[in-house]
Amino acid sequence: MKKSDPHRRSGTAAARLRQTTQYISERISVRPAIAVILGSGLGDFAESFIHADAIPTKEIPHYPRSTVFGHQGRIIAGMIGRISVLAFQGRVHYYESGSLETVLYPIRVAHALGIRTLIATNAAGGVNTRFAPGDLMLIEDQINLTFETPLASPGGGRGGPSCYDAALIGTIVRSAKAAGIPLKRGVYLGLKGPSYETAAEIRMARQIGADAVGMSTVNEATLAASLGMRVAGFSCITNLATGMLPEKLSHAEVTDVANMVKQRFADLLGATIAAIGPH
Q: What distance separates the 2 farthest-apart alpha carbons in the chain?
A: 61
101 is annotated as an active-site residue: no
Catalytic residue among 66, 84, 175, 216: 216
71 is annotated as an active-site residue: yes
204 is annotated as an active-site residue: no
Catalytic residue among 96, 148, 197, 220: 96
Catalytic residue among 66, 84, 93, 188: 93
279 is annotated as an active-site residue: no
128 is annotated as an active-site residue: no
Catalytic residue among 110, 124, 215, 244: 215
111 is annotated as an active-site residue: no
User: Backbone dihedral region of 203: left (phi > 0), alpha (psi from -120 to 50 degrees) or beta?
Assistant: alpha
105 is annotated as an active-site residue: no
Catalytic residue among 35, 62, 63, 71: 71
7 is annotated as an active-site residue: no
Catalytic residue among 123, 221, 229, 244: 123
Catalytic residue among 54, 95, 97, 140: 95
Catalytic residue among 23, 47, 251, 274: 251
188 is annotated as an active-site residue: no
- Active-site residues, by number, are 40, 71, 93, 95-96, 123, 215-216, 239, 251
